[in-house]
Amino acid sequence: MAKGNSWKTRNWTKADLGFHSRIILKRELKSEPQYTLDDLFISPFTQKRRYDEDGRCWYVPIERRTDPTGIHVMDDYLHYLAEGQSDMLAFANRHGLKTEEVSVLVFILTGLKGVRFRQLFQIRLVDELLRYTDMTPAEVARRSGLGSQNNLYFSLRREYDMSATERRAFLRKAGDAGRYRL
């Protein structure tokens, strides 16, 4: 079938293209989800700052949970998001799946739709990056998988009605900057 604005698609009728009205069903888990976002979140940080009795600081490795669910596809998806990747189609293709199948897996385990889970994961990643690093909003947007500073702005407005600067000021406590390293 031709795609785009070609002479074929302009001359075909809706019936020829297979348009049918779709019934969209809203799904809700009838039981408690097995995992929450907190259970599944993988921090981007690999080192934590420590001090000795003389006040000198150094960084030590953080023990990170690498397989929170034990389900290989889901754990790989969590690593994918933690690395700042967000292309669900590319991830699904890598595993020979459809994006809908990945979304169903996320829904079964968390009770959240795939898109909403990704948004919440990214916002949690943004919060950690804003609180513990001095990255610019553009760098935070790229590292969290949101892509651009505009996407970061609109995501933070949707979730908290704040800008990145306001969110950083809200989250950051004394001594937070530099507490962790990527």
Encode pLDDT of 70-88 as tens digits: 899 999 999 999 999 989 9
Residues 6+ apart with CB under 8 A from 85: 91, 145
Residue 9: inside a domain: no
Please choose, from the candidates 84, 38, 92, 49, the residue with its C-alpha nearest in 3D space to the C-alpha of residue 178: 49
Give the percent of the chain with pLDDT over 90: 61
Q: Report the number of distinct structural domains present in the chain.
A: 1
Q: Which helix (H) or strand (E) holds 173?
A: none
Q: Look at residue 25 and tell me whether its pLDDT is greater than 60.
A: no
pLDDT of residue 54: 84
Mean pLDDT across 14-32? 59
CA angle 88, 91, 95 (to 5 degrees): 135
Residue 138: inside a domain: yes
Whether the CA torsion 87, 91, 92, 96 is positive or negative: it is positive
Residue 100: inside a domain: yes
- Tell me if 167 sits within 8 A of 130, measured CB to CB: yes
Find the CATH number of the domain harbouring 136. Answer: 1.10.10.60
Q: Which range of residues forms the domain containing residue 111? A: 35-181
Mean pLDDT across 156-176? 93
Residue 22: inside a domain: no
Residue 75: inside a domain: yes
Residue 147: inside a domain: yes
Entry pTM:
0.80
- Tell me if 164 sits within 8 A of 120, measured CB to CB: no
Averaged confidence pLDDT in the chain = 85
Residue 80: inside a domain: yes
How many residues are recorded in the chain? 182
Q: Which of 24-33, 155-164, 171-180 has the lowest mean pLDDT?
A: 24-33
Residue 156: inside a domain: yes
